[in-house]
C-alpha cells in the first residue's frame, strides 16, 4: 500500500506540505468539507492550505447547525466569524466600517471547501453559517489555473482564496504586514504541475487512462514553468 501524507492526503512522494511551512496568517481559517469529498480530496486545495495555516481547522459535515465544534467557534467571543460568500450584502476588506466591525477580535473566515454540487446541500441545511455576515473580495481574481471545472471563471481555488484574503486584509490593515502568504501560491503552482504531469502520464500510458477515446483526455498538457 502507498504511504499517504496524513496532512494533505497525497502520496508521500508528491506531498505538498514541504512547500507550505506553517505560518500564523492573522486570520483563523475554518474549512467546511462534505464527507464525500473530505476523504478523496485529490485535487482539492483545502488540505494543503490547512497544512500551512496555523490554527486552521477542517470540519466535516453536511448540516452544520448542530456541528459541535463549529457551534463552539461561532460562540467564541474572541472571534468575528464571517462566511466567505459573494453577495451584495457581503463585506469586503475595503468596505467602510469593516475594520471597526471586527474591532479587537480575530477574523474567523469560514470557507466551504467543496465542489459546487456538494456545497449546495451544505448551504441549504446549514442555516447557522448562512446567517453569518458574509465576506467577499474587494477585487476580482481569476484562478491561475483551472483543472477543476468550476461553474464560473471567477472561481478561485480554496488555497488562492486564503492567499487573496490575507493580502486584502493586509491592505486594509486588519492583518499585519509581516505575514507572508506566498508559500500558499507556491504550493498551488506545484499542485498544478503535478496534476498536469499526471494527466500526461495517463496519455503516455504510464498510468491507467479510462478516457482514452476522449480528445480532452488525449491531448498533452503544457506544464507551466512557474
Write out the residues near Zn ion by the rule CB under 5 A.
Answer: 5, 7-8, 15, 17
161 close to 84: Cβ distance less than 8 angstroms: yes
CB atoms within 10 A of CB 1: 3
Helices (H) and strands (E) in the chain, counts: 8, 5
Question: Under 8 Å CB-to-CB from 65, ≥6 apart: which residues?
Answer: 125, 126, 127, 128
Find the residue with minimal CB distance to Zn ion.
Answer: 5
CB of 13 to Zn ion, least distance (A): 10
Closer Cβ to Zn ion, 5 or 191, answer by number = 5
Shortest distance, CB of residue 4 to Zn ion, whole angstroms?
Answer: 9
Of the two residues 7 and 106, which places its CB atom closer to Zn ion in the complex? 7
d(CA 188, CA 195): 10
Instruction: Please identify, using beta-carbon distances, which residue of 20 and 118 lies nearer to Zn ion.
Output: 20
Q: Are 138 and 92 in contact (CB under 8 A)?
A: yes
Q: Alpha-carbon distance 6 to 12, whole Å?
A: 9
Q: Which of 8/185 has CB closer to Zn ion?
A: 8
3-state secondary structure of 170: helix
Tell me phi and psi for residue 42, to 5 degrees.
-65, -45
Q: How far is the CB of 104 from Zn ion (least distance, A)?
A: 35
CB of 16 to Zn ion, least distance (A): 6
> Which CB sits closer to Zn ion, 15 or 112?
15
Scan for cell 514541504, then name that residue: 18
Which residue in the block uniquely carries the three cell numbers 496568517? 25
Does residue 53 sit in helix, strand or coil? strand
CA distances from 46 to 71, 148, 187, 208 (A): 21, 14, 11, 26
Smaller CB distance to Zn ion: residue 5 or 62?
5
Minimum distance of Zn ion from residue 40's CB (angstroms): 15
> 56 vs 170, which CB is nearer to Zn ion?
56
Amino acid at each position: 500500500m502507498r504511504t499517504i501524507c496524513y496532512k494533505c492526503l497525497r502520496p508521500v512522494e508528491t506531498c505538498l506540505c514541504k512547500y507550505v511551512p506553517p505560518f500564523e496568517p492573522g486570520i483563523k481559517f475554518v474549512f467546511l468539507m462534505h464527507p464525500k469529498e473530505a476523504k478523496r480530496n485529490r485535487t482539492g486545495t483545502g488540505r494543503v492550505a490547512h497544512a500551512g495555516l496555523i490554527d486552521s481547522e477542517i470540519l466535516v459535515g453536511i448540516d452544520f447547525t448542530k456541528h459541535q465544534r463549529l457551534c463552539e467557534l461561532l460562540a467564541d467571543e474572541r472571534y468575528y466569524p464571517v462566511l466567505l460568500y459573494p453577495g451584495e450584502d457581503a463585506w469586503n476588506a475595503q468596505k467602510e466600517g469593516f475594520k471597526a466591525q471586527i474591532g479587537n477580535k480575530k477574523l474567523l473566515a469560514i470557507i466551504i471547501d467543496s465542489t459546487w454540487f456538494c456545497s449546495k446541500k451544505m448551504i441549504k441545511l446549514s442555516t447557522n453559517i448562512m446567517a453569518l455576515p458574509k465576506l467577499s473580495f474587494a477585487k476580482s481574481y481569476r484562478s491561475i489555473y483551472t483543472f477543476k471545472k468550476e461553474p464560473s471563471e471567477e472561481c478561485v481555488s480554496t488555497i488562492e482564496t486564503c492567499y487573496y484574503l490575507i493580502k486584502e486584509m493586509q491592505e486594509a490593515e486588519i492583518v499585519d504586514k509581516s505575514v507572508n502568504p506566498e508559500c500558499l501560491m507556491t504550493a498551488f503552482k506545484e499542485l498544478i504541475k503535478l496534476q498536469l504531469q499526471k494527466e500526461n502520464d495517463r496519455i503516455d500510458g504510464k498510468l491507467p487512462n479510462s478516457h482514452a477515446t476522449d480528445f480532452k483526455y488525449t491531448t498533452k498538457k503544457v506544464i507551466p514553468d512557474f
